[in-house]
Amino acid sequence: MPSFFLEALIRTPFLGRIKLALAERSVYKSFSFYTTSDVEELDELHRIRYKVYCEEYHYLDAKKNPDKREKDQYDNHSFHLVVRHKSGVLGATARLIIGSEIGLPISNNFDLDYKIPRDTSVAEISRLIVARNYRRRHLLLVLIKGIYLLVKEQAINDVFCVLDDRLTPNLEELGIPFKRIGKPKIYQGITAPYLIHVNELEEQMVERNASLLKFLSNGSMHAHGKDYKYAPH
């Protein structure tokens, strides 16, 4: 997960309760938020992932994607989240990989101190992208909100991610209880594997950052055919 996005997440919660509410209203007035399984839309996401992860950050080898579309075996086991401006322009995207028989990327790329089951009780956050023109529009927080609501809807408590160790103390101060479950290595930068227990996140944020928890919890992801669409309460 690019450090730029995590640094933005660290700053955003300090907007405070009122400004978070205004930011939410502003975002949802201009953007729609949903998951997609549409073939053409997924192709758009694969092309954007290539631009960001292969060309902009050089986290992934462009030579392995000669068609300029970054995709892998985990896509078929994922929810692909989209935040799209009313003009039709893609503002942000991420995927939530649901555990399956092929495992999660984190378990296949790190030596872990934690045994991750190969079933749908777990998930991993991956390929988080905010379009350059929208990186000051709180869309990162909208993606985190959508992931949280999807995880709740799917009754998943163990969520995994790969983070830069330098940022985790700041994120923990927000009430997000990351647990490192393996040693750092060079993997999309110098990163380490982490686990979040959703129930612990909620317990800590009630005490440390209730306004952010309220922001994340408001609304739900409603089934819309094979996909889900956000609806506020």
Query: For every one of its 233 residues, what pLDDT tens digit does the chain have, with 9 covering 90 and above?
Result: 555 455 555 555 555 665 677 667 777 788 899 999 999 999 999 999 999 999 998 989 999 999 999 999 999 999 999 999 999 999 999 999 999 999 999 999 999 999 999 999 999 999 999 888 877 667 877 888 899 999 999 999 999 999 887 767 767 766 778 899 999 998 888 899 999 999 999 998 888 888 888 888 989 999 989 999 998 87
Q: Do 108 and 27 contact (CB within 8 A), yes or no?
A: no
Q: Is 181 left (phi over 0), alpha (psi -120 to 50) or beta?
A: alpha
Q: What is the pLDDT, as a whole number, of residue 7?
A: 55
Phi and psi (nearest 5°) for 64?
Answer: -80, -5
Can you read off the two tokens belonging to residue 39?
């073939």
Q: What is the pLDDT, as a whole number, of residue 143?
A: 86
Q: What is the pLDDT, as a whole number, of residue 23?
A: 66
**pTM assigned to the model:** 0.90
Residues 6+ positions from 160 with CB-CB distance below 8 Å: 104, 106, 116, 122, 123, 124, 125, 181, 193, 194, 195, 196
Cα distance between residue 170 and residue 73, in whole Å = 33
Q: Which residue has the tokens 């872990």?
A: 112
Cα distance between residue 176 and residue 30, in whole Å = 28
Q: Is 91 left (phi over 0), alpha (psi -120 to 50) or beta?
A: alpha
All structural domains of the chain with their residue ranges = 3-219
- CATH of 3-219 among 3.30.300.30, 3.40.630.30, 1.10.486.10, 3.30.2230.10: 3.40.630.30
Q: Do 198 and 159 contact (CB within 8 A), yes or no?
A: yes
Q: Inter-axis angle of helices 17-30 and 210-217, to 10 degrees?
A: 20
Phi and psi (nearest 5°) for 40?
Answer: -65, -40
Q: What is the pLDDT, as a whole number, of residue 6?
A: 53
